[in-house]
């Protein structure tokens, strides 16, 4: 497969997943606000803070009102990680590999892009909850169509790696939101408010019901973190994403799992085995935020190594 | 929708001989259309356009920085050519392409035609499409032009003329295939009742033509389509043809010359490429041999090509025969190489380069169409009858300043085809671009792209100038 094509399929999936996760990310906050008792001040700035793009936001919007923050993260073409920018980039990537992907994938992505573009250009502010639900559904539809219509060979696996690395990164960030925004004062721990916040967070990761089924007990921070980081079967947990990304990587190269033939496999295998032997107590002890921060850096590193191994081979 | 009121008005009409008199090959079609209500026709027209947009049969307009995609407006009343008439066109096109290939091979090698003074040598050397680095080239089988899209028009008296030969990278065949696909789903009954020659096997013929360029000892040669990328206006077509042939679509940055071969960068290292269907102009294909500022091509490709280690369709240097001044000599070229009379006529052409003809052109600017020798897409031309005196004066100065660069032709009265316009059917002017493949044999795809001028009375059919297209049916009566 052409390196450029592999790269485009990888990014195409990453961008679609990113758009979906930005929607989830905002939803955490929306859900929280709905559940907050009257009198609690709305907090939107921390959401931008966790994206790392606060200066750009302040320069373009100034005050972090709910509407400003949502417009910035959703429709701002100047902001490369807004939902609209992600989909625009995903579509350009898809256009450049149209002869490789299935036409159903192209048509779905096209429809997805136009849906968001029209919402961005509409005069009225969308019903945000409905809109984010539609973004998530469109992204799932795309992933499902890809799964059902594209041969599961090299190109498909590159797409999987892109999607899974992005998802692992965003699950880490969504979990981190709790650290930034929700870090309860000592008196709130274990209160109804605290419970509601963790539930909102689980819902944003589509993890609430699955968590209940898995844990069979009440919601507590350690167990939630354990589920989102270490569960081997929940498809949005970091552990699951890494396991599957590693699998795809080895199916591309043919190298047996547990060994490595290039830096990408080595980096991914290392992270996978680390996660495989960690307990949630180890993580809490080291500090959840610090741990999540490190995971994000490792995920970036894997992404770079995938690029240098398969795409940037034989530079001009 | 009734054709009762449709009147050819003294133009040559492709579907009617006179008011209410369909041509024999169009009778069934007209009967069928007459049986639909106006709103039914309109609905089908709209759904055909929507289908094309959904399929993404678009070209790009990057004027606003955002990039918008448009479909070429599509009209659902097809153009019909009788099988008998097609046969003659086909013969004429084969003869023309055969002779043009001999000509290209000759001028880049022995140059007999120049020594025999059939064409003045200075005209060849001053043609921008003449590429010195190609002197001495010997492409496989002596074939230079594998894919040609020749533009034909019909005058008021119904006679066919060749308007130009597009021997470089002719576009549009994807519209032929997709228009046909849409027509089949729009009017399935017509395809059941009328013997319409199929066009769907074009990609197979194209692939065969390309495979024919690979060295014979290779059992499974790698063929690619080389595109400038997604910002090119014909990108859809590049991607479509690659997909239909099942070959890779590559860009210059995917290719590299290594170990004396052309190779592409894959996730598993470099892989050899044997044949390129290139949709990049000559000038841009190898910055080492041609334009050094180009990033589209592949440095060193020319060397590999010269050594016969990669096949190129079309060969480099074919643009010399696209020069509108050289075009004027094609009838002589056919006589010279084949000893036959041309089956298809050229449009009568005045060469401004010859003083006498130039004075005639300058004296008759208001009646002629003047064209620059190397422009396409409807640019660089003057339609004398529609221009203001000031525009004509400005063009006269251009001609005098650079006579080699201009030719003039009488304004032809292009034939018309009934076309849906707003609320009624009107006659609109058309041209025809058949696609010709030259591999082991010469193959002419039955029909071709009919482009239609969608403004009333307009003679300009180019898509970049707002023209549309129609499906072209070659039918036995």
pLDDT digits (tens, 9 = 90+) for A104-134: 999 899 999 999 999 999 989 899 999 999 9
pLDDT of residue A186: 57
Residues on chain B touching A3 (C-beta within 8 angstroms)? 254, 265-267
DSSP 8-state symbol, B36: S
Q: How far apart are CA A17 and CA A102, in angstroms?
A: 18
Percent of chain B residues past pLDDT 90, beyond the cut:
70
Tell me the pLDDT tens digit for each residue of A234-245: 999 999 999 999
End-to-end CA distance of chain A: 18
Q: Is the pLDDT of residue A188 over 70?
A: no
Is B191 a residue whose pLDDT tops 50?
yes
pLDDT tops 90 at residue A163:
yes
Q: Please give the sequence-ordered ranges of beta strands (E in DSSP) within B218-367, or none if there are none.
A: 223-226, 248-250, 255-258, 261-266, 269-272, 275-278, 311-313, 345-346, 350-351
Q: Which residue has the higher pLDDT, A86 or B48?
A: A86
More confident residue, B26 or B231: B26
pLDDT-based confidence at residue A48 (cuts at 50, 70, 90): confident
At residue B64 the predicted structure's pLDDT band, cuts being 50, 70 and 90, is: very low
H-helix or E-strand spanning residue A153:
none
Question: In whole angstroms, what is the distance from residue B340 CA to residue A70 CA?
Answer: 74
Q: How far is A219 from chain B (nearest CA, A)?
A: 45
Which are the contacts of B71, defined by CB distance < 8 A and separation ≥ 6? B49, B52, B53, B57, B58, B59
ipTM above 0.90, yes or no: no
Of A92, A95, A154, nearest to B267 by CB-CB distance is: A154
Q: Do B253 and A4 touch (CB under 8 A)?
A: yes
For residue B57, what pLDDT band results from cuts at 50, 70 and 90? confident
pTM (2 decimals)?
0.88
Percent of chain A at pLDDT above 70?
91
B23 within 8 A of B79, measured Cβ to Cβ: no
pLDDT interval class at B476 (50, 70, 90): confident
The answer to whether A107 contacts chain B (CB < 8 Å) is yes
Cis, peptide link before residue B314, omega less than 30° from 0: yes
Give pLDDT, residue B70. 75
Tell me: pLDDT of A189 over 70: no
Q: What is the pLDDT of residue A31?
A: 79
Say if CB B366 and CB B385 are below 8 A apart. yes
The per-residue pLDDT for range B312-345, each reduced to its tens digit, is: 999 999 999 999 999 999 999 999 999 999 999 9
Residue that has been written with the tokens 């994403």 in this structure: A241
Q: Is A151 on the interface with B (CB under 8 A)?
A: no
Banded model confidence at residue B179, pLDDT cuts 50, 70, 90:
very high
Residue-wise pLDDT tens digits, B108-163: 999 999 999 999 999 999 998 999 999 999 998 899 999 999 999 999 999 999 99
Inter-chain contact B249–A314, Cβ cutoff 8 Å?
no
**B286 vs A38, more confident:** B286
* Residue in chain A nearest B225 by alpha carbon: A99
Cβ-Cβ contacts under 8 Å, B268 against chain A: 1
pLDDT bin (cut points 50, 70, 90) of residue B55 is confident
- In order of A17, A158, A311, the CA distances from A264 in angstroms are 21, 12, 12
């Amino acid at each position: 497969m052409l390196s450029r094509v592999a790269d485009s399929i990888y990014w195409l999936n990453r961008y679609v997943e990113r758009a979906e996760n930005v929607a989830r990310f905002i939803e955490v906050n929306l859900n929280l606000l709905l559940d907050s008792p009257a009198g609690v001040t709305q907090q939107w700035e921390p959401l931008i803070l966790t994206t790392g793009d606060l200066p750009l936001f302040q320069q373009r919007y100034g005050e972090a009102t709910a509407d400003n923050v949502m417009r910035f993260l959703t429709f701002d073409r100047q902001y490369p990680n807004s939902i609209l920018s992600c989909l625009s980039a995903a579509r350009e990537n898809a256009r450049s590999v149209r002869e490789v992907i299935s036409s159903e994938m192209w048509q779905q992505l096209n429809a997805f892009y136009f849906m968001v573009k029209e919402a961005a250009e509409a005069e009225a502010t969308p019903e945000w909850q409905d809109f984010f639900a539609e973004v998530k559904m469109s992204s799932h539809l795309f992933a499902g169509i890809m799964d059902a219509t594209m041969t599961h060979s090299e190109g498909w696996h590159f797409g999987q790696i892109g999607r899974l690395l992005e998802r692992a990164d965003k699950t880490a960030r969504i979990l981190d939101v709790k650290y930034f925004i929700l870090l309860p004062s000592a008196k709130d721990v274990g209160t109804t408010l605290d419970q509601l916040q963790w539930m909102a967070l689980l819902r944003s990761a589509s993890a609430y019901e699955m968590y209940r089924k898995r844990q069979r007990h009440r919601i507590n921070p350690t167990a939630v973190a354990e589920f989102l980081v270490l569960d081997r079967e929940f498809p949005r947990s970091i552990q699951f994403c890494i396991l599957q990304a590693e699998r795809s990587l080895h199916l591309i190269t043919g190298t047996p799992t547990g060994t490595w033939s290039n830096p990408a496999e080595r980096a991914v295998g290392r992270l996978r085995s680390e996660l495989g032997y960690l307990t949630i107590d180890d993580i809490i002890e080291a500090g959840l935020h610090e741990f999540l921060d490190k995971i994000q850096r490792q995920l970036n590193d894997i992404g770079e190594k995938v690029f240098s191994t398969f795409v940037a081979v034989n530079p001009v | 929708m009734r054709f009762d009121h449709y009147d050819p008005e003294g133009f040559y009409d492709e579907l009617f001989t006179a008011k209410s008199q369909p041509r024999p090959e169009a009778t069934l079609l007209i009967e069928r259309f007459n049986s639909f209500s106006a709103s039914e026709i309109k609905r089908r027209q709209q759904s055909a356009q929507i289908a094309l947009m959904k399929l993404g049969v678009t070209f790009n307009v990057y004027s606003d920085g955002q990039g918008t995609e448009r479909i070429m407006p599509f009209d659902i009343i097809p153009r019909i050519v009788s099988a008998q008439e097609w046969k003659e066109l086909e013969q004429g096109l084969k003869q023309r392409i055969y002779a043009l290939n001999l000509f290209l091979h000759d001028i880049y090698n022995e140059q007999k035609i120049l020594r025999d003074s059939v064409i003045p040598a200075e005209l060849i050397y001053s043609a921008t499409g003449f590429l010195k680095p190609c002197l001495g080239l010997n492409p496989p089988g002596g074939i230079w032009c594998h894919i040609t899209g020749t533009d034909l028009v019909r005058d008021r008296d119904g006679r066919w003329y060749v308007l130009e030969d597009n021997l470089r990278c002719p576009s549009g065949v994807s519209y032929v295939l997709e228009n046909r696909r849409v027509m089949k789903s729009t009017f399935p009954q017509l395809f059941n009742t009328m013997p319409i020659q199929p066009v769907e096997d074009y990609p197979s013929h194209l692939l065969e033509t390309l495979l024919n360029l690979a060295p014979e000892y290779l059992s499974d040669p790698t063929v690619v389509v080389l595109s400038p990328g997604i910002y090119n206006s014909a990108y859809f077509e590049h991607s479509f043809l690659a997909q239909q042939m099942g070959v890779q679509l590559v860009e210059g940055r995917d290719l590299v010359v290594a170990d004396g071969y052309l190779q592409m960068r894959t996730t598993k290292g470099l892989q050899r490429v044997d044949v390129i269907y290139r949709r990049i102009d000559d000038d841009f294909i190898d910055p080492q041999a041609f334009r050094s500022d180009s990033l589209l091509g592949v440095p060193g490709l020319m060397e590999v090509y010269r050594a016969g280690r990669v096949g190129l369709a079309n060969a480099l240097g074919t643009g010399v025969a696209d020069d509108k001044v050289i075009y004027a000599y094609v009838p002589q070229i056919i006589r010279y190489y084949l000893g036959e009379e041309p089956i298809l006529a050229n449009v009568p052409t005045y060469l401004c380069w010859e003083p006498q003809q130039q004075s005639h052109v300058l004296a008759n600017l208001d009646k002629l169409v003047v064209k620059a020798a190397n422009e396409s897409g409807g640019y660089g031309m003057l339609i004398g009858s529609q221009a203001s005196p000031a525009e004509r004066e400005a063009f006269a100065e251009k001609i005098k300043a650079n006579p080699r660069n201009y030719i003039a032709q009488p304004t032809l009265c292009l034939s018309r085809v009934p076309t849906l316009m707003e609320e009624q059917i009107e006659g609109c002017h058309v041209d025809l671009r058949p696609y010709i493949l030259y591999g082991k044999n010469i193959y002419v795809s039955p029909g071709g792209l009919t482009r239609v001028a969608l403004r009333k009375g307009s003679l300009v059919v180019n898509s970049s100038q707002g023209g549309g297209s129609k499906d072209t049916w070659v039918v036995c009566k």
